Amino acid sequence: MDDFFEKFRSLHAEMELLLDDFFRIRHPFALSAEKRWRPCVDIYETEDDVVLIAELAGVSREDISVSASEVELYLSGTRREPATHSKKYYHSMEIRTGPFEKLTRLPRRVDPDRIAITLENGLLKIRLPKVKRPKEVIVEIE
């Protein structure tokens, strides 16, 4: 049964990417200033942690916000267009700027109070410690 859900999650992720690519390629200028884009995210597990890596090239740490619960992580912020004093004549415009957001359902319960976050070379790495299963206690009936 776990294999079925893993295949379903994989299909869901592929469909999300396909739709993102379709709308970006066909309608690159249809995004209004209010439209938020979603950064690409990898999620994996180690023995102790769930790790999420978001691709945020060109986004400064001051423009990133992260909040989490035991089951979800919400990432938001803004990628600002680099300031320039000369006119630009674009031939291609694929790098999205403006506000972004990503809500991710985590594969395991995590401890949101012990999150560790680093930003290096445009990759935001979020380490979320897994919640250990509570110790089972057998209680005798009086």
Domain coordinates of the chain in residue numbers? 1-30, 34-81+94-132
SS3 117: strand
Neighbours of 52 (CB within 10 A): 24
Mean pLDDT computed over every residue of the chain: 84
Tell which CATH architecture fits domain 34-81+94-132. Sandwich (2.60)
Judged against a pLDDT cut of 70, whether residue 32 lies above it is answered with: no
Distance of alpha carbon 125 from alpha carbon 53, whole angstroms: 5
Judged against a pLDDT cut of 90, whether residue 98 lies above it is answered with: yes
Threshold 0.75, pTM exceeds: no
Q: What CA–CA distances, in Å, run from 113 to 77, 116, 121? A: 21, 9, 25
Q: Which two tokens stand for residue 88?
A: 């630009």
Instruction: Return the half-sphere exposure (C-beta side, CA atoms, 13 A cut-off) of residue 53.
Output: 8
* CA-only gyration radius of the chain, Å: 19
